[in-house]
Amino acid sequence: MTMFRDMLLASGLVLALGGGAAFAQGQPAGAGKMVTLQMPALPDPVRVTLNPATTALLVLDYVDPICKSQPKCMGEMLPALTSLMQRARKAGVVVAYGTRERTMSSWLPEIAPAAGDIKIVSVAQDRFYNTDLDKVLKAKGVTTIIMAGWKVSGSVTYTSVGATVHDYTVVVPVDTTAASTDYETAIGLFQILNQNSANATNVPLKSKASTLSRTDMITFQ
């Protein structure tokens, strides 16, 4: 998967060019000379083999008020996560959910929590912040987290940072997360690979860092 985005930056102006679309934010009067930059290409997703006894699948914000309004969430992310979750549950992987209190009862039925699953009421985009998520995962012997959710440039990015800070190895299947625009998606995936304990070349399962994979490239053994 290779994504390029040209960015024009000038005194508060951000213009992203990609796929024939342009997105601009704020152009102040008297803006200075614009500089054209090219974001580095993202590495391809890689295959990973995970130990189900030490792995958790963390699902973020696959809830009716969010996903139903996002075509990518319903048309692409949900089918991919549904298939992965079926395999993960069969393998005995711990499944955890994180969302705000107001949406905790609104999970999409295809991936809704089962009895015994972990449910975390979040107070910030980093679902480790001010919650018991780290405590309950470590109590179950989890060292690796598969992270899926809306959106890649928000909760998934920030929670991946929280996870690596807490010494987890993270796997983000790129077909289970997205954002409203290709630009946001590319920025989110770039940040995931380059945050905290960076893994810019996407080395599979680099310890206490994040790896980009895909649901059909994840196996449990």
Q: What is the pTM of this model?
A: 0.85
By DSSP bridging, strand 21-25 and strand 13-18 are: antiparallel
pLDDT tens digits, 105-132: 999 999 999 999 999 999 999 999 999 9
Supply angle C-alpha 93, 198, 204, rounded to 5. 45
In this prediction, residues 194-204 reach a mean pLDDT of 95
For the chain, domain boundaries: 6-38, 48-220
Give which of 187, 194, 151 is closest to 39, Cα–Cα. Answer: 187
Which CATH topology does 48-220 take?
A: Rossmann fold (3.40.50)
pLDDT of residue 24: 40
Residue 11: per-residue pLDDT: 30
Q: Rounded to 5 degrees, what are φ and ψ at 71?
A: -55, -35
Confidence (pLDDT) at 40: 80
The predicted-structure confidence for 56-111, as pLDDT tens digits, reads as follows 999 999 999 999 999 999 999 999 999 999 999 999 999 999 999 999 999 999 99
Instruction: Note the pLDDT tens digit of each residue in 136-193.
Output: 999 999 999 999 999 999 999 999 999 999 999 999 999 999 999 999 999 999 999 9
- The pLDDT score that the predictor gives to residue 22 is 37
Question: Which amino acid type is present at position 127?
Answer: R
Neighbours of 92 (CB within 10 A): 10
**For range 14-35, the mean pLDDT:** 50
